[in-house]
Amino acid sequence: MPTYVAALQQAHPDICINLQFENLASSATERIFQRIFICPAESAQSFSHMRKFMAVDGTFLEVRFIQTLSFAVSIDGKGKNLPLAWEVVESENTKSWTWFLSHLKTTMPNWVGMTLIRDRDKGLLAAEQQVYGNQIYAHTCGFHLKGMINLY
């Protein structure tokens, strides 16, 4: 993983990457991958000129290692989706979402007034309140929206 990060930083010197390991209790020198956050500089720069809208979600990675891919996406001036940042973490929980949102908040300029859309991922609401503080929250998911649309 450190080799991959070094290659990314060499190719894109302004990229924001945070790589975190966990030390093994049985060894003072060995450690295992815990999580990584990646935000291209172009995404962070673009966000300051975009609509104040961001969607966050997570999905499971189950090919070689059981982990979770979390990501943030926004909409550019042409109405196209723009991936802003992503992370690979051990699971969806308050700790990993707090880590992701904290990095997102520091890498994305002008996040104040932003609309954050999300579903009810495990730990995301608690992390959102911890990182962004007292804001107005609206809870929604595609299933409930579909039901509301069918009512009209």
DSSP string, the chain: -HHHHHHHHHH-TT-EEEEEEEE-TT-SS-EEEEEEEEE-HHHHHHHTTS-SEEEEEEEEE-SSS-EEEEEEEEE-TTS-EEEEEEEEESSSSHHHHHHHHHHHHHHSTT-TT-EEE----TTHHHHHHHHH-S-------HHHHHHHHHH-
Residue 118 has pLDDT above 80, yes or no: no
Domain boundaries, the chain: 2-151
More confident residue, 72 or 111: 72
Higher-scoring residue by pLDDT: 45, 110: 45
Express each pLDDT in 30-76 by its tens digit.
Answer: 788 889 999 999 888 888 788 778 888 888 887 777 888 999 998 88
141 or 11, higher pLDDT:
11
Res. 143 pLDDT band, cuts 50 70 90: low
